[in-house]
Copies of this chain bind each other. A is one copy, B any other.
Amino acid sequence: MKLAVLGYGTVGSGVVQILEENRDIISVNAGEDLEIKYVLDLRDFPGDPIQKKIVHDYNVILNDSEVEMVVEVMGGVHPAYEFVKGAIENGKNAVTSNKELVAACGAELLELAHLKNVDFFFEASVGGGIPVIRPMIRCLTADRILKISGILNGTTNYMLTCMEEDGASYDDVLRQAQEMGFAERDPSADVEGWDACRKIAILSSLAGGQQVDYREIRTIGITGITQADFRYAAALGLRIRLLARASFAPDGIYVQVGPALVSSDDPLYAVKGVYNAVKITGDRLGDVMLYGQGAGKDATASAVVSDIIEAARTRRNPYKLKVRWDEKKLALSPIGEYPSRFLVRLRGRLDEVKDEIQKKLQPERFLVLDGLEDEFAVVTSAMSDDTLARILEGEPGRFISRMYLEEV
């Protein structure tokens, strides 16, 4: 089968490389040889063997009926959307690693692929190399999905791991991550949680069968995390993780991204550095966790190639699997009403206000740490974020920050 790769950046060149270097295994697994006919890129690559396949005009690919699959690894919604849509409309299978595209247009493109009886696969869009999407939609099919909790961004997990283990500041760790290539020069998409937000939107759309609008997900990044937070966490035996979470509760569906405190009983506790993991809780299976490298050229490209292989294997199948992800919006419940226990940091000296705080918050625990004399922290009982905010309204100037405790 002949295919075209759209974008010769990090992932695109990784895809080309794997298809070349693992050709023997891939041919066996796909049941046929896979041949890259074109690589679309704005740039030229003189001296690179890929140069002879480079095209600058997408129409060359679109109008070549020999090309049965396009592999979109450019990133961004436009023109990726137009390219993928055009390919599917022309009866070509499409594979993408592009989380922005899938979060925004996944439902529409899946529906179009269904109409055209081609495949639209996007395993690499969540969790990089970790098999997540296919296991979820092909294996966890007998269960009611109760919850998805994921560490879905490698950059922030690396930063949080370093801050915890080395005691370094946020700024130092960010600089180090940038130097090592784990963080972009503009790190906003990672550190503000936007990347994890797109990914949990995709997973919860697939679990719910309808569109979860990523713009409706309350997303808090890690930019406000300081060493003081790590000290309180350590005092509680907990770790700070940027969790992307979707809870399918009897009273509503709650989705959010934000820093959370994770206990050692939780398999997510052990997920360090650039590794990612997705924990899916089913009503029968209990917790299942999928763990691996959530980013990086080789791991992401491997997931893309596995999609290419799967699409090649099944392309003659006239009965394609219909993935349940309708364009109709899934109604999310207000995240402020979701109950959690919170670690709340408050200004002041505990001995002066303990009675008052005790009366108002009835916390499970008070924490005072050496060297943090002008503040203290409490662990609340389970309450909603809104309730917590209402209680703290009567304490102007006292609130520093709060972080929820993830329950196992």
Contact = CB atoms under 8 A, between A and B. Distances in A.
Interface of A: 18, 22, 25-26, 28-31, 123, 129-131, 134-135, 138-144, 209, 267, 269-271, 275, 282-293, 298-299, 301-303, 305-306, 308-310, 313-314, 316-319, 321-322, 324
B322 A319 contact: no
Q: Is the interface of A mostly helix, strand, loop or mixed?
A: mixed
Nearest to A324: B28
A121 to B, nearest CB: 11
A144 B22 contact: yes
Given A22-B144, A26-B141, A290-B290, 14 more contacts: A22-B143, A22-B284, A25-B144, A30-B141, A129-B288, A131-B139, A142-B303, A142-B308, A142-B309, A267-B291, A284-B298, A287-B291, A288-B291, A289-B291
Contacts of A26: 141-142
Q: In the complex, which of the residues A286, A293, A301 has the most CB atoms of chain B within 10 Å of its own CB atom?
A: A286
B141 A135 contact: no
Contacts of A270: 267, 269-270
Nearest to A267: B291
A328 B386 CA distance: 64
Nearest to A321: B313
Total identical chains:
2
B141 A284 contact: no
Nearest to A15: B142
A271 B270 CA distance: 10
A131 B139 CA distance: 6
Contacts of A313: 321
A160 to B, nearest CB: 17
A69 to B, nearest CB: 14
Contacts of A299: 284-286
B292 A291 contact: no
Contact of A314 (B283, B289, B292, B319): B319
Given A139-B134, A142-B309, A309-B141, A284 B302 contact: yes
A329 to B, nearest CB: 19
A28 B288 CA distance: 22
Which 4 pairs of residues, A with B, have the shortest CB-CB distance? A142-B305, A131-B139, A270-B270, A288-B292
